[in-house]
Structure 1
Amino acid sequence: MRRFKFVRDPDPRDLGYNIEEFLRWMDGPTCFHLTGENTTRTRALVTLLHGNEPSGTIALYRWLKSGRRPATNVVCLVASVGAALEAPVFSHRMLPRARDLNRCFRPPYEDVQGVLAEEILEILRLHRPEAVIDMHNTSGSGPAFGVCTFMDRHHDALVSLFTQRLIVSDLGLGALMEISEEACPTVTVEVGGRMDDEAHELAFEGMCRYFQAGTVLCPGDTDWGLELLRDPIRLELNENVTLTYAEEPCDNYDITLKPDIEHHNFGGVKADTLLGWARGAETQLFTALDAGGRCAVTKLVRIDNGKMYPAQPLKLFMITNNAAIAHSDCLFYAVSDDGSTICA
């Protein structure tokens, strides 16, 4: 049973007068086919894999309402519309008990989210795009960045349409960007915090460049010289570990992180930077594996008299101040303070 609604070149007058009306008009996963000036080539945009990340949908709505025509055909997939519509709008990452859709792009495709991911892959295979942008927001405030599984000039060029910061990571989590090696150049673009107007504007400006440029796979005027961060390590919570955010340690929780911890996103932290407080040993509370599958927890954090610090000078990113996301995904990613892989 197909879950996507297919719409070709929608009339701007049909799409509603605001973003919530646009969501209700879609009423579920929707694939837009936009006819380009050059109909022999196709690009793809995927957005709203997470229902609480609105910037890509807001940007696409602005584009569709403008009535503009892209340089090539563009296939736009808006996925988690149902989760986005759960009140309050754009507050639910996914529906209750559902898997993270951006962890479902590898078999088996057995549950509802897996079937939806498989259909996204089928649509992309059918249209054979020359490139795929998967647009996201970060859960907390922070600067924009791109992510890809390996570095070459195509990925460089795609990310440079949006940002000058690129993370190269092949963690094998089942994310959409992992199709890059077998399909076409595919990058994740995190345009910034989901509540930030700057992120919405960056999403629209980058989308316009992606839709309108004659070529998007060769570095050109948008190639700003990327800051590269290689092979980050994820710090995850162990099962049944409790977490909260507060200005001082909370007795009923194993870990209390400082509420402004997201301000360290893409900034260097020193070994004496207080991140929060913790009860127990590092490896009892956290899991982290390096590229070789070795435990790397003590390379990332140390606990000294109940206080939690970086184990060494690090650069942290994708820090969340949302406990639910920290439990279901991770606390943050880390590389050495110079952007290189953390050594064993």
Structure 2
Amino acid sequence: MNDPSPRTLGRSALEWLDQLQKPTIIRVAGRDRSRTRAMATLLHGNEPSGLLALHRWLLEQHTPAVNMLFLLGGIYPAKIPPTLSWRQLPDGRDLNRCFKEPFEGEEGAIARAMLVELHNAKPECLLDVHNTSGSGPAFAVSITNDAAHQALTSLFTDRLIITDLRLGALMEYSEQEVPTVTIECGGSQDEQAHELAYEGLVRYCSRPDVLSLEKADWDVTVLRNPIRVELAPEATIEYRLEPTGHADLTFPPDIEHRNFGIVSPDEPLGWVGKKGLGILTAIGHNRKENMTQVLQVRDGKIYPAQALRTFMITTNPVIAKSDCLFYAVKATGEPFFDAKRSGGSSRTSVLRELICDSRCGRWIYQY
């Protein structure tokens, strides 16, 4: 779609989505035709804030400061009834894990086509707008920490997660020397998340310069290399006020309130069954696994092994099992495993390959 008029956009974002039949590219001409900025959204079909913000922005017929390229990747899962409830196709792959070779399957083809569009457009920067898997404050994620990435982050939030973990996500386009940031706007059902996505989009499109803001204009808190806590494929999880004894892991229904809060070693996170912590793995960016630094069990309850800052906690059991339970860093914002102290470098420990082991459906990381 090129410079779409309001009559082509439907009366609502849902009506517009109903009209879209396949992954879609939208181009809007800017005042400065020599430059382009890009934004992807709806890579996950159940994360609507970016779609809602984009539809609202397009209806208002803004003229952006520069040319804008918008990429809507997850149209197919988003359209499955009930609309905007499926992260990916029932038998499909997570699109935001497919932005690397060998680009297999339908999702791989979509990812490759999006990368071709970006290569041809040569944008000066790229945003990937998402919702968090649970309710909580907004934050950004990137693989690069410099002034440009912090400036992009500050258009939406004041929290930036830096990770050396490679999953085949679109934000890894930053390795093409194009400043790239993932924006996690907050919960998919939170009106505040939708508004944040819209206000950030307006700033992103309207400002002549989004990569070198004055330091006085932003103050971004940076958290480095969080631990990713995952649940074993065969394990069971429940969200209850008290454990029933039937699940391997029980979290309270309000566990999302822990997002970006600091949890002390005296505050329980939940309960484990007879298998204990054996159902969990703590995966660092350099593949070091040391659960004893992250969690401990006392009298059947899970406690932090040290003060933690947790985020991306979800109460969706499907996401908890297929993706991860949560991420965590030390309360100070520092990582658990420091590559410099362990004698390696973050660059040499970057994960080079991501393959799916069909025997267990788990992601296997290789250097």
Partner of 2:31: 37
SS in 2 for 1:8: coil
Structure 2 residue 53 is matched with structure 1 residue 59: yes
Structure 2 residue 150 is matched with structure 1 residue 156: yes
Contact 1:282 1:298 in 2 (8 A): no
Aligned mate of 1:303, from 293, 297, 314 = 297
Structure 2 residue 131 is matched with structure 1 residue 137: yes
Partner of 2:15: 21
The answer to which of 211-220 and 292-301 deviates more is 292-301
**Offset of 1:43 from its aligned partner?**
0.3
Residue by residue over 1:148-167, the C-alpha shift from the partner in whole angstroms, topping out at 9 and shown as x without a partner, is 10201110111011111111
Residue type of the partner of 2:201?
M
Query: Quick one: distance in 2 between partners of 1:176 and 1:31?
Result: 16
Query: Quick one: distance in 2 between partners of 1:280 and 1:296?
Result: 20
**Offset of 1:292 from its aligned partner?**
3.1
**Offset of 1:283 from its aligned partner?**
4.7
* Structure 1 residues 222 and 200: alpha-carbon distance in aligned structure 2, compared to 1, 3 A threshold: farther
Query: Quick one: distance in 2 between partners of 1:187 and 1:338?
Result: 23
Partner of 2:331: 337
Aligned mate of 1:204, from 198, 203, 215 = 198
Aligned mate of 2:78, from 78, 81, 84 = 84
Query: Quick one: distance in 1 between partners of 2:53 and 2:63?
Result: 15
Aligned mate of 2:184, from 177, 190, 200 = 190
Write out aligned runs for 1:1-344 (5 A). Answer: 7-220=1-214, 223-343=217-337
**Offset of 1:230 from its aligned partner?**
0.7
Residue type of the partner of 1:202?
L
* Structure 1 residues 205 and 184: alpha-carbon distance in aligned structure 2, compared to 1, 3 A threshold: same
SS in 2 for 1:327: helix
**Offset of 1:291 from its aligned partner?**
3.3
| TM-score for the superposition, normalised by structure 2 | 0.89
Query: Quick one: distance in 1 between partners of 2:108 and 2:282?
Result: 26
Query: Quick one: distance in 2 between partners of 1:194 and 1:222?
Result: 31
Query: Quick one: distance in 2 between partners of 1:133 and 1:15?
Result: 22
Query: Quick one: distance in 1 between partners of 2:98 and 2:46?
Result: 17
Query: Quick one: distance in 2 between partners of 1:200 and 1:293?
Result: 35
Quote the RMSD (CA, aligned, Å). 1.4
**Offset of 1:219 from its aligned partner?**
2.1
**Offset of 1:110 from its aligned partner?**
1.2
| TM-score for the superposition, normalised by structure 1 | 0.95
Residue by residue over 1:96-140, the C-alpha shift from the partner in whole angstroms, topping out at 9 and shown as x without a partner, is 011111111111111111111111111100100000000000121
Contact 1:282 1:302 in 2 (8 A): no
Q: State the aligned residue count.
A: 338
Query: Quick one: distance in 1 between partners of 2:9 and 2:278?
Result: 51
Query: Quick one: distance in 1 between partners of 2:85 and 2:69?
Result: 26
Partner of 2:351: none
**Offset of 1:220 from its aligned partner?**
2.8
**Offset of 1:289 from its aligned partner?**
2.2
**Offset of 1:251 from its aligned partner?**
2.4
Partner of 1:4: none
Q: Percent identity?
A: 48
SS in 2 for 1:288: strand
Could you tell me which runs of 5 or more consecutive residues in structure 2 were left unpaired when the two chains were aligned.
339-367
Residue by residue over 1:6-62, the C-alpha shift from the partner in whole angstroms, topping out at 9 and shown as x without a partner, is x10011111111111110122221100110111110000000000000000000000
* Structure 1 residues 146 and 223: alpha-carbon distance in aligned structure 2, compared to 1, 3 A threshold: farther
Query: Quick one: distance in 1 between partners of 2:78 and 2:199?
Result: 23
Query: Quick one: distance in 2 between partners of 1:121 and 1:73?
Result: 18
SS in 1 for 2:223: strand
Query: Quick one: distance in 1 between partners of 2:142 and 2:216?
Result: 18
Could you tell me which runs of 5 or more consecutive residues in structure 1 were left unpaired when the two chains were aligned.
1-6
Residue by residue over 1:193-252, the C-alpha shift from the partner in whole angstroms, topping out at 9 and shown as x without a partner, is 110111100100000000010011102388321111111010001121111111111222
Partner of 1:3: none
SS in 1 for 2:309: strand
Query: Quick one: distance in 2 between partners of 1:305 and 1:186?
Result: 45
